[in-house]
Chains A and B, each alone.
Chain A
Amino acid sequence: MTNTEDCPVLAIENYSLDYETANGPYHALKTINLAIKRGEILGLVGESGSGKTSLAWSIMRYLPTNAREPGGKILLCGDNLLEKSERQMETFRGRRISMVFQDPSTSLNPTLSLGTQLSEVLVRHRGLTRQQAWKEGEALLAHVGLKTPAQMMHRMPHEASGGEKQRVVIASAFACNPQCIIFDEPTTALDVITSRQILDLFVELQAETGVASLYISHDLALVARTASRVAVIRRGGIVEQGSVREIFINPQQAYTRELIAAVPDPAHRLVKDDVVATDEPLVKVENVSVYFGRKPFFAALTGRKMDRVTGNNAINLVVNASEILGIVGESGSGKSTLAKAMTGLNRFEGRIWFDGREICSSSDMDNAYRKDVQIIFQHPDASLNPRQKISEILSRPLKLFGNATDLDKQIGDMLEQVRLPRTHANRYPHQLSGGEKQRVAIARAFASRPKLVICDEITSALDVSVQASVVELLLELQKASGTAYLFITHDLNLIRQIAHRIAVMYRGDLIEVVKADEIDNPDRADYTRRLIEAVPRAAAQYQ
């Protein structure tokens, strides 16, 4: 197991992977060649369905039963993993090669304490007794920056935060000093600030141990910050690989260029700052609060107390006509809660002024208000009824708000407006791709020619390149119709590109509203500064 500097720790040679399906074999990976040396971080970047996760399973030898491997080798320090038996692999996994997963809340067993799950690796691979493993586990947790390791060992997963859980997962991946670790989108499920801390921890541990790392991500900006080399994967094949600098400064392939261009760069503003703030704004949110929770019937009978959960705490906000107002914040900050309050989906206290009219509750939201205020949701899968054809979905706003004459032509026009073929009208949502579905949802929102469209994380379920084209479409529609947007997102780089002003929210409170180009100003609120610092800037240094 000794390896010299030039011999790669992990080498993948001409590796291919097929899945047997009812419609013949599906080529998931096509002649992959990759090598990672000791001390190196290789970033593997690709969009969903590109095969990046399949490659991780192949390396770990954890493949579904319909997987076939037509050829190639996966060498871990010279040992071809394809030739190892399951029993041998069990001794490798966790000891010589380990993995960190995307979502710590699902990759930890909810019914076992964190300590148990950490120490079982040590018992398994380092032959420690339970007591020794527990002691060692505490040391490991201290090493990954957890302040109270002894208590943390006894906690159950639901008693720890996402960041704490991911630290435990990382601790167990590093526990046996493996030669190679695969990181599969380890920060994607975490909030901005936490994810930055986890990333810093990763870089620190990696430098300390010199472990060869395969860092899988969909986020080029993130990979550019951490990795030394990058491989771009698309449809099961490596498109291009090289040092981060090479890839960013001089990308050889069109796809790589496209991918780099699609990464939101706050320095590159996509809108003009031409919105005039008037005394008569389009929307004025005045002291709007949202509370959740109701006394259950029997709790009321027995007089048990129940605390209300605050979703929004006295929010004051103004949106001008034709303005794009971004709302950013971590999960649970109340961004979507506010959006739902403004569309009558959440009960609220306080007042909303729209176009000079006063709205005090959802019953004040008449047909005219609903016509003018539209909402687009995050997951088009959930927001389009799976049992309705696109034509029926698009016909509803026309029937409610417009004129229902010549529906077919209008629906066709709407589809064309969002750059979809007219024939899609006859399809069901599940016959469309994610990006296409979101375009249908956009078309539905614009059918009534609204004055305000609330976009609730509408790009976060989409791939980078699809996101870029959806954003482009939204900006075009905005230019053409003068619609104002309330654009809710957690992607700071994106919102800095497209918003006129940005509202920062934290735990139900509105921290501040600032002009988009002044958000990195040093005299911003403390939380805003932390947020901005945590976000990896799209490798601006290379451009």
Chain B
Amino acid sequence: MIVYTLFVVSLIVFAITQILPADAAVMMLGENATKEALDALRQTMGLDAPVWQQYATWLWHVLQGNLGTSLRTGQPVGPAMFEALGRSLLLAVFSIGLMLILAVPLGIIAAIRRGKVADIVVSLVSYAGVALPEFVTATIAVLIFADWMKWLPPTGYVPLTENFVDGIVHLVLPVCVISIILIAHVSRMVRSELVDVLHTDYIRAARLKGISSGQVLRRHALRNALLPTITIVALDVGYLLGGVIVVEEIFAIPGIGRQLIVAIQARDLPAIQAGVLIMAATYSIVNFIADILYAWLDKRIQYD
């Protein structure tokens, strides 16, 4: 499945970069290069071959782990992209962690207190959460917490290995900004799943066996309600990756999102191809793992 997905993605990416009105040879040698020099370079790069052959060559190289050479820096794209991916994943993992810590309890509270004040507050918060794009929340957050309060640094990235505390401090704002929309979405999903489960016959049956409401919630309801959340979170990873692009740009974090923006602006084709492929692969792998996890948990969910 992943193989097919990545194959389609590679086709799309290659198609888009082929249509891009940019000539790789011109980009490398500059506008003033002679025609002979350009032709020679095109030949060595294989740019004069038919499109499908270029694609096959590119794909063959990719399969061997060679993602090409950046037109902008002249360095191999692969190592740079994967290094950037590491930083982005750090951001993403923290964001998903924060989201799970907040969204799941919020959704549960809203479902249990359905129609009560707590539910209304949670749903208002979630409506507000999906109302602003990341770049707006990020900008406002910088304005409030960095400019006015001076609690946190406005931008920048410090590797955790270099200075752990400083690194974490620099991550606080980006992580919070990315999490907001995810929290809003996931808490709503958790709520509606749990409300559905609480209305099933088996929950009623458990209550009528005399099991207390707390125990019914813990043993019977939560397991079944949280299971679909795995799928939802996995699908949200697509949204998360989009958010990562914006947030990295604003907070000047040298992750894969920022690399991609730079590559797109510079029309650095190999870098674009590699970046998109890596992002799609990340998304596919996460969803693949989620599917397996779901199937595994669904069969043998048990309390001992």
Contact = CB atoms under 8 A, between A and B. Distances in A.
B211 interface: yes
Contact of B208 (A62, A103, A124, A298): A62
A107 B202 contact: yes
B303 A103 contact: no
Contact of A90 (B205, B212, B220, B227): B212
B162 interface: no
Contacts of B200: 106
Given A62-B207, A93-B209, A120-B219, A103 B302 contact: no
Contacts of A109: 202-203, 206, 220, 224
Interface string A97-140: 01101010011111111001100110011000000000000000
A302 B24 CA distance: 39
A94 B208 contact: yes
A508 B219 CA distance: 40
A50 interface: no
Interface string B193-235: 0000000111111111111100000011001100100000000
B301 interface: yes
A19 interface: no
Nearest to A120: B211
B173 to A, nearest CB: 39
Contacts of B301: 111-112
Nearest to A178: B210
Interface in A24-65: 60, 62
B212 to A, nearest CB: 5
A101 B207 CA distance: 13
Interface residues on B, range: 20 to 34
B302 A112 contact: yes
Contacts of A112: 219-220, 301-303
A91 interface: yes
Interface residues of A, number: 30
A202 B69 CA distance: 77
Contact of B202 (A62, A98, A106, A124): A106
A8 to B, nearest CB: 21
B209 A120 contact: yes
Contact of A92 (B201, B210, B302): B210
Contacts of A106: 200-202
B291 interface: no
In this complex, the member of A93, A109, A116 whose beta carbon has the largest number of chain B beta carbons within 10 angstroms is A109
Interface in B103-154: none
Contact of A98 (B203, B208, B212): B208
Nearest to A108: B202
Contact of B201 (A101, A111, A121, A124): A101
Contacts of B209: 93-94, 98, 120-121, 124, 172
Given A62-B207, A92-B210, A103 B201 contact: yes
A90 B208 contact: no
B298 interface: yes
Contact of A124 (B204, B210, B223, B302): B210
A121 B202 contact: no
A496 interface: no
A439 interface: no
A116 B302 contact: yes
Contacts of B211: 90, 94, 120-121, 124
B20 interface: no
A95 interface: yes
Nearest to A154: B302
Nearest to A175: B209
A169 B208 CA distance: 12
A116 B201 contact: no
A110 B210 contact: no
Interface in B212-268: 212, 219-220, 223-224, 227
B214 to A, nearest CB: 10
Interface string A200-222: 00000000000000000000000
B288 to A, nearest CB: 14
A108 B205 contact: yes
A274 B298 CA distance: 57
A21 to B, nearest CB: 16
Contacts of B208: 60, 62, 93-94, 98-99
B1 interface: yes
Contacts of A103: 201
B28 to A, nearest CB: 41
Contact of A101 (B205, B219, B227, B303): B205
A116 B300 CA distance: 12
B204 A121 contact: no
Contacts of B303: 112, 116
Given A111-B223, A111-B298, A91 B210 contact: yes
Nearest to A89: B210
Given A112-B220, A112-B302, A116-B302, A125 B205 contact: no
A381 B103 CA distance: 38
Contacts of A108: 202, 205
In this complex, the member of B203, B208, B219 whose beta carbon has the largest number of chain A beta carbons within 10 angstroms is B208
Contact of B205 (A95, A107, A113, A298): A107
Contacts of A94: 208-211
Contact of A121 (B1, B210, B302): B210
Contacts of B220: 109, 112
Contacts of B4: 298
A62 B223 contact: no
A311 B11 CA distance: 42
Contacts of A113: 302
In this complex, the member of B1, B209, B298, B302 whose beta carbon has the largest number of chain A beta carbons within 10 angstroms is B209
Given A111-B224, A111-B298, A112-B219, A93 B207 contact: yes
Nearest to A94: B210
Contacts of A92: 210
B179 to A, nearest CB: 29
Interface in B269-304: 298-299, 301-303
Given A112-B219, A116-B302, A298-B1, A107 B201 contact: yes
Contacts of B224: 109-111
Contacts of B227: 111
A125 to B, nearest CB: 6
13 contacts: A62-B208, A93-B207, A93-B208, A94-B210, A98-B208, A99-B205, A106-B200, A106-B201, A107-B202, A109-B220, A112-B303, A121-B209, A124-B209
Interface of A: 60, 62, 90-95, 98-99, 101, 103, 106-113, 116-117, 120-121, 124-125, 156, 169, 172, 298
Given A92-B210, A107-B205, A111-B302, 9 more contacts: A62-B208, A90-B210, A101-B201, A103-B201, A106-B202, A108-B205, A112-B303, A121-B211, A172-B209
